[in-house]
Amino acid sequence: MSRHEIVSPIPGVFYRRPDPESPPFAEDGTAVAEDQAVGLVEVMKSFHQVHAGAAGTLVEFLVEDEAEVDAGQPVAVVETG
């Protein structure tokens, strides 16, 4: 199995759910599709989806919900293959 790091496309605040009342986009140990959203990054009231980028199992999130992230920073890991 290989590992794929999901990275933030932009700097901002990382959210694991679409809004405070909704369940997370994905949990550790769940299957994800390549184009599946696993989180959002918010900057200046604009939200950008973060997609898995590879199909497989989401192994772990590397940042906490509502953590500040930089562009290119790994936010989660997917095991593929």
pLDDT tens digits, one per residue of 22-73: 999 999 999 999 999 999 999 999 999 999 999 999 999 999 999 999 999 9
Give residue limits of the domains in the chain: 2-80
The per-residue pLDDT for 29 is: 95
Q: What is the DSSP letter of 34?
A: T
17 vs 21: CA distance, rounded Å: 8
Q: Which of 22, 20, 16, 26 is nearest to 54 (CA)?
A: 26
59 vs 29: CA distance, rounded Å: 5
The per-residue pLDDT for 1 is: 78
pTM of the predicted model over 0.85: yes
Q: Which CATH number fits domain 2-80: 2.40.50.140, 2.40.50.100, 2.60.120.890, 3.90.79.10?
A: 2.40.50.100
56 pairs with which residues across the strands?
Answer: 32
